[in-house]
Structure 1
């Protein structure tokens, strides 16, 4: 047994990754495992689309929701890139 109080953050990370791989290896249908989370995430965009266009058809709501989803992930990508650039900049900065 591993003593969680004495393990390092790197140890805990490795233990968690190991557990996740074992858990996923035991799944007969990995897509079904994550379906509820994907549906909940998509519903967030559908709800937002319905608020923006209350009189729109279901087809139009689906289109708007897809655009909102893509915009969301583009924003995440931009933020991630900015964070990586900032981290790289501070790593290259000379020590004072």
Structure 2
């Protein structure tokens, strides 16, 4: 029997909780993922490897901050839209 999206999400959360309950050093286990994530921004700002390592690191950090700021901005806009739609429904009632 296929799982519903809610059941799949619950199963995934369960697996994540079990996995992290067994981790002894979370920071060490996430180090490779962090490194890979940051390399994405380094490649974005310096695709040809022409910058000095220091300059590339600073530019990559700014690109990372821009990425997360963009996510926050989009999230705020989406929440604002939902709140506005919710008020319109309340006003019509």
Alignment match, 1:47? 43
Q: Secondary structure at the match of 1:28?
A: coil
Give the C-alpha shift of residue 8 in structure 1.
4.4
What is the TM-score of this pair, normalised by structure 2?
0.77
Residue 70 of structure 1 corresponds to which residue in structure 2?
65
**Match for 1:85 among 77, 80, 88?**
80
In structure 2, what is the Cα distance between the partners aligned to 1:28 and 1:87? 41
Higher helix share: 2
What are structure 2's unaligned runs of at least 5 residues? none
How many Å separate the matches in 2 of 1:59 and 1:38? 18
Question: What RMSD, in angstroms, separates the aligned Cα atoms of the two structures?
Answer: 2.5
Query: Does 2:22 match 1:26?
Result: yes
Question: What count of residue pairs does the alignment treat as equivalent?
Answer: 91
